[in-house]
Structure 1
């Protein structure tokens, strides 16, 4: 948290350093502001000033005297520079939003008089079908930039109390959410991106005393055994691996695989990957041995 003290008011304010430190309402309002900045509807300086007002819970007002008004805006502009911490800047000057959180600030919300539940922190307990379909819509949005895919992503993970994902009519739910405020839709997208960053790069779990790196599922090996991590998520073949898992009979048919906890399925996929790599190495070793013997 940033600390900002206003001497005239004898008051200290605490301002989030990034989106992950925002409370529920701050998160939603900032998500909408980030959307406006990302889509070019507002410039960066406007984003910072409007963001400062949101995070300090201030309302816009005009001073009676012009000099006081100029001084106020000068101070606001200086204070708004604190919001630079919401981004990192690469060597080309491109700004990248800091997304390193997997707790959900918006666990539920009401829409048209109905309550909908979102995901738990860390996406705990989601179904593998949600995980698989969510990644698909995430990739679709990355490729096209069409908001409809974000609405589909949102609908996949927001269900009525006691509603099961398996019985969700996705097309109907997306139509229902068409007029939902973008702060909810884009806010969840930013949360999902942060989750993707975690699951594809940093996720490791301890199982029976053995550390399993889930992130290995999102890496592909080149011919020279270097690992590439810039592949589109769908390119690793989540769906094909799902079918392979279904064919193994461990969890039953494909639809049964989709109804299991996503983490259990990912752990089983890791096991499949390990086995496939082991078999590939054994075949290569046998081939090399055979070629060596033939020269002898």
Structure 2
């Protein structure tokens, strides 16, 4: 009886895993397949024939190409901004010992739990009051705010796993605090920095909720262009654009695998050398 129950439990667990994976991947697979539909109209799934027609339409649409350029530029700049500030903040928080430190950490990580719509509206009011008129400037500040916590969290987690012995050894050999950070701490933080940078890039690239408050026609991003097209001209060009966004995320995962290994992104495995 026990063996039968173990077998049933194992089968139930396997079925749950299969259904969960299907639930997560099926919408993506359908969108990708429909983006290759040879029909010139939005038809039923599955496609009867395949073509690059919708990708050509995607490339020929100025709104999408303008949005793609803006998204790549904005995600790159916001990643550089959040990594620079986030690494410095994480190291400072790791070494700091003062009352109220946890409150400061909570403030830094607040954008992870505060609804993006609230952040977007709050930044709209604040930046307008400060006289920031550039749409791209507003988006860069906003994306820095929403991506900074990912860098701080990943680098802080990496620092928490490091013992003080290496830093103490370097200082005992006469290294200055800056030299210790540059030659010991930063190299050891590399996995956390890479993970934080990838998360920051993808969050910025995919953002809609904050950008919809702050973007102007010149700073429209690809996700915002998708939303606009869904309202005015719903066709399978949207599926092609969505697949392009999926491709960007896949490229980010490939870079992570090449640099540190995907296992490290999810907190397991060892860093690649």
| Interval of TM-score (by shorter of Structure 1 and Structure 2) | under 0.3
TM score, norm. by length of structure 1: 0.21
Of structures 1 and 2, the one with the larger relative CO (CA 8 A, separation 6+) is 2
TM score, norm. by length of structure 2: 0.22
The answer to which structure has the higher strand fraction is 1
* Larger Rg, first or second structure (1 or 2): 1
